[in-house]
Chains A and B, each alone.
Chain A
Amino acid sequence: MSSPVAARFVGSAVHRKEDRRLLTGHGQYVADASAPRMVHAAFLRSEHAKARLNSVNIEAALSAPGVVAVYLWSDFHEKFGEAWHAMLGQELVVPPPLAIMDVRYVGDPIALVIAESRALAEDACGLIEVDYEAEQATVDYATAAADGNVVHAAWGLPSNVMVDMPFTPMSPDLDETFNSVQHVVETTIIQNRYLCVPMETRGVLASWVPGLEELDLIVSTQSVHETRNFFARYLGLDEGAVRVSARDVGGGFGQKMFVFREECAVVLATKLLGRPVKWIEDRLENLTSAGHSRNELGKVRMAISADGIIEAITVDHVADVGAYTPCPAVMDPTLLPGPYRIPRLGFSTQMVWTNTMGKAAYRGPWMFETTAREMAIDIAARQIGMDPAELRRRNLLSLAELPFTSPGGKVFQEITPLETLEQALGMLGYEEFRKEQAEAREQGRWLGVGICVYVEPTSMEQATLGTEGATIRIDSNGKVVAYLSTSSHGQSVETTMAQIIADDLGVAYDDVTVVQGDTQSTPYGPGTGGSRTAVIAGGAAHDAAVAVRDKVLAIAAHMMEAAPEDLQIAEGVIAVRGTPDRSLTMKEVATQAYTNAHTLPGDVGSGLEATIRFKPTRFPTWSNATHVCVVEIDPDTFIPRILRYIVSEDCGKMINPQVVEGQIFGGVVQGLGGVLYEDFRYDPDGNPQTTTFLDYLLPTTGETPLIEIGHIESVSTTNPGGFKGMGEGGAIGAHAAVANAVGDALAHLGVNVTSTPLGPEDIFQLVQASQKERA
């Protein structure tokens, strides 16, 4: 039977539903929300990386103008229950809302001041007297495991090691391989600490409703349902007594996947006060206290045959998780071989605590596998005297040889690593570039090209992540409302899901409204994160739309005395195939379905609504891409500048090419930012050094190159639309591509680039060291 509808919107760059309100300044963020009798919160935060709290005197603060309350740990103690997330499990408990006896990072919240305005609350924070007994902090994660100075000594922990997985060979002949191959390459890759930095900082308007005994939260989050789930447990309430909503969210990037201790404190405050409490984090807090990311290192070893076949790869990996980690998402070592045909793997991994802000998820949280492998491949190519593109070409998987099971146990299907490499190199004109580079070097110009190839696991299954739900209703006017379990924070979800639904229902795109980010109206879901919306929420939207369409066809068939399979829907008109004068509008069918439903036969049913949950046919859904970056470094100033940036990507069938490219642009800018501009630094005592945008440098449009994108569409079979996730790839691929380009530009000077960041100072130091070594 042919489909009753034809695809008209999926695959095209329709105008974004979000644009009118966002581009005209009418987005609704937490700071835009208010409530009667609302008061404002500010935290007093630790100035020390590690200290005992001998005393905290709040007397002066309590009598300061406009102050409503000042809370310490003792006020919250025993006022809350379980503090864990469904997605992370019960073991990973959110730290106490305020410091108890000691502080463990600069920014650790000590007191919460509630006042009539934020400014007055900050005034009162300045009046709180804290008697600190400072102790030596542990800051360097590379040495923290062996450091007897234990971050969590107060908990009785014996060391700074949170997770220690000793070296595990995934292949029995690993040692033999390293002993027998032509080339063994060993290099330690270090990725710097950089952050999500959403435009909208964290924020919550928490309202305890006395009498109803309900909690109402408007919060900047990636997951309203996880937040509701969490606070129901936290306060011992039924989930029905907790409402969480997030209208517009100004970016999350992983940071806002989970509830933070500050939000817990604000919720406890509203409950104690019986007044709405609003906390809008300022940028200083966001940079120092909202979770830090990356900051991992790995000693990579590669065994390479005489003809450039990579026979084995291993890593000894260390990740910094800070003092309290909101989400300890670090490298996935089983993904280290990436999209290569590498048959052998081994790894060890260690996660260590330090007296710094804790690790948070950030767009591709596992991505150090890509940084480590791709930077090591460039080092290896140089060492064995092979062009880095050629070394990749000889080892990359191509679509024709799939499925392929990696030594890490990953089963790759429907990906195009070699194909994207060739497309990206073709877009650049790789051979011509190498000639241009050689000529430039003779003129004293430093040009370089960097490549990064990766595979992206999307739509994973862990815990809550495997399914999404959709409720779709055609209302009595014949218009469509879709209630989705997603929590968009900038992914154009309203647009892409409406494209799918409009196609499946045969209605106009403008006739579909998407509702999300509200626990009172939408089905349960883990939120938007992990590149899952196109595949899983898209699958739910599709299935629910088809279920509603079937109801439309059944009722219309009854009304027109035709067989449902003879009907087709286009532009919101249901017609009998080949007999266009026999037709009904969607409104006419809806009127029948709701207003005269009692006249319908029992097997046709009433109403035009369906709720469906969807799970893909297998996990994960893989996507892939190749990034190629060209930089020029000024030999006088060591300033690197990106001349070209090319991405060849395969996210399967694209719902909306403009949205796909927007995701790539944003991710790439975050990745290149982490190499060239962004670097969060602590001094050796654990004092943050980059606490404002004067020192923590984000790339702006002025630093952003034109990003050229090529698409390869190998359709996925995990979901009805053929889609693949792709939201994190830009940030995964850009880091190594840019670092490798800088490395290539400096290679003729004898410099090996193995760590980031690579600002002018870093490049200056590398060049100086190399010259000193050569002299």
Chain B
Amino acid sequence: MKPSQFQHHAPERVDEVVALLAEYGDDAKVLAGGQSLIPIMALRMATYPHLVDIARVPDLSKISATPNAVRVGAMVRQSHAERDAAVATVPLLAKALPHIGHFQIRNRGTVGGSIAHADPASELPAVALALDARIEATGPGGVRFIDASEFFLSTWQTALDDGEILSAVEFPVWGAGSGFGVEEIARRKGDFALVGALAGVTLDGDRVTRACITMIGVGSTPVRCHEAEAALIAGGANADLNEIGRIAAAPLTPTHDVHASAAYRKHVSPAIVRRALTAALKEARS
């Protein structure tokens, strides 16, 4: 469980990061918080002769707010985001962060690293997908934006091109009357979710004017439940949430692992959606 030898690069500007990735190609990997990459290398599931450590690039560690969105730099530590006032205006992100591992992991782990790693059981990719976040990618050709709905291709696969890094994520801020809920089943506190649901609603009286429901742990990417969202908007704040949960779960085709079968994941999904929505509606009403 020792990684093989690699060269550690510590650039201080984004263009240097991009240049190093261009120089070393497939031999290079970006190192952010290292909470997934380092165990993978220690287990020798992957070997990279060059690691481009982005921790010393000040531009990547900033959080900035505009009236409609919060921009979180790729290298912002999860524990930093948890305590940030601007992030608090994106309650779904703020609620999801404490579910990631343990505080020691969040002290190292980064917002951008988790999204770029694109684990289908991770919370932050689901937050990005639920809120229609924009992923800022920086490459040799400059900066471009990718909608979260286009970003997650499969397990650990994203729409980033070779030589590009995820440089920031823009999370939209929802308006007044909104509420959010994060619900997940994990074997132990801090474990990857067996199944999770992240939900948001905006209420105008009993009318649901906006809804998002995203599930994790039930496929090769986080799954946005569009039909269930539409049913909730149609049914309003007093809709039968068990039914919304069933609609969300119906199209799912989860996989199995040592912790849970596909049947289990599918079976428990409606209740998890119901619980996330119950929390979101409660917050929206308050």
Contacts and interface: CB of A to CB of B under 8 A. Distances in A.
Interface of A: 117-119, 122-123, 126, 282-284, 636-639, 677, 681, 689-690, 692, 694-695, 697, 699-700, 702-703, 759-761, 764-765, 768
Contacts of B43: 284, 692
A677 B187 contact: yes
B268 A638 contact: yes
B207 interface: no
A636 B270 CA distance: 9
A281 to B, nearest CB: 10
A118 B4 CA distance: 10
Given A126-B44, A681-B258, A759-B259, A697 B188 contact: yes
Contacts of A759: 187, 259
A636 B188 contact: no
B83 interface: no
B245 to A, nearest CB: 10
B4 A119 contact: yes
Interface stretch (B60-68, B122-130, B189-197): B189-197
B188 A677 contact: yes
Given A636-B271, A764-B263, 19 more contacts: A117-B2, A118-B2, A119-B3, A119-B5, A126-B4, A282-B1, A636-B268, A636-B272, A637-B271, A677-B187, A681-B258, A689-B258, A699-B188, A700-B190, A703-B188, A760-B185, A760-B260, A761-B260, A764-B264
A702 B268 contact: no
A198 to B, nearest CB: 16
A677 B5 CA distance: 35
Contact of A283 (B1, B187, B258): B1
Contacts of A637: 185, 268, 271-272
B267 interface: yes
Contact of B2 (A122, A283, A636, A692): A122
B261 A761 contact: yes
A769 to B, nearest CB: 12
Contacts of A699: 188
24 contacts: A122-B4, A123-B5, A282-B2, A284-B43, A636-B271, A636-B272, A636-B275, A637-B271, A637-B272, A677-B187, A677-B188, A694-B192, A699-B188, A700-B189, A702-B188, A703-B188, A703-B189, A759-B187, A760-B264, A761-B259, A761-B261, A764-B261, A764-B267, A765-B261
Nearest to A639: B185
Interface string B4-47: 11000000000000000000000000000000000100011000
Contacts of B275: 636
Contacts of A695: 257-259
A760 B5 contact: no
A119 B271 contact: no
Nearest to B256: A761
A703 B194 CA distance: 17
Nearest to B194: A760
A636 B241 CA distance: 14
A126 B4 CA distance: 10
A764 B3 CA distance: 39
Contacts of B191: 697
B205 to A, nearest CB: 29
Nearest to A699: B188
Closest A-B pairs by Cβ, 4 of them: A636-B271, A119-B2, A282-B1, A702-B189
Interface in B148-203: 185, 187-192, 194
Interface string B246-286: 00000000000111110110011001100100000000000
A160 to B, nearest CB: 26
A683 to B, nearest CB: 10
A395 B187 CA distance: 37
Interface string B194-227: 1000000000000000000000000000000000
Interface of B: 1-5, 39, 43-44, 185, 187-192, 194, 257-261, 263-264, 267-268, 271-272, 275
Nearest to B42: A282
B264 A690 contact: no
Interface centre among A126, A761, A764, A768 (most CB of B within 10 A): A761
Contacts of B3: 119
B44 A122 contact: yes
A56 B185 CA distance: 46
A283 B1 CA distance: 8
A681 B256 CA distance: 15
Contacts of B257: 695
A761 B260 CA distance: 5
A553 to B, nearest CB: 56
A690 B259 CA distance: 10
Contacts of A636: 268, 271-272, 275
A768 to B, nearest CB: 8
Contacts of A119: 2-5
A697 B187 contact: yes
Contacts of B2: 117-119, 122, 282
Nearest to A281: B1
Interface centre among A637, A638, A760 (most CB of B within 10 A): A637
A284 B42 CA distance: 11
A681 B258 CA distance: 8
A695 B121 CA distance: 14
B264 A761 contact: yes
Given A637-B185, A639-B185, A690 B44 contact: no
B258 A690 contact: yes
A700 B268 contact: no
Given A119-B2, A119-B3, A636-B268, A760 B190 contact: no
A228 B36 CA distance: 42
B259 A700 contact: no
Contacts of A638: 264, 268
A447 to B, nearest CB: 19
Contacts of A690: 258
A702 B190 contact: yes
A123 B4 contact: yes
A18 to B, nearest CB: 25
Contacts of A761: 259-261, 264
Nearest to A702: B189
B1 A284 contact: yes
A688 to B, nearest CB: 10
Nearest to B267: A764
B78 to A, nearest CB: 18
B48 to A, nearest CB: 14
A324 B275 CA distance: 49
A694 B275 CA distance: 26
A569 B275 CA distance: 69
Nearest to B270: A636
Contacts of A284: 1, 43
B187 to A, nearest CB: 5
Contacts of A126: 4, 44
Nearest to B3: A119
B114 to A, nearest CB: 16
A700 B188 contact: yes
A760 B271 CA distance: 14
A624 to B, nearest CB: 32
A76 to B, nearest CB: 25
A639 B264 CA distance: 12
B252 to A, nearest CB: 16
B139 to A, nearest CB: 32
Contacts of B271: 636-637
A67 to B, nearest CB: 14
B269 to A, nearest CB: 10
Contacts of B187: 677, 697, 759-760
A765 B271 CA distance: 17
Contacts of A689: 258
B106 to A, nearest CB: 15
A638 B4 CA distance: 42
A677 B275 CA distance: 24
Contacts of B39: 692
A166 B257 CA distance: 39
Nearest to B261: A761
A693 to B, nearest CB: 10
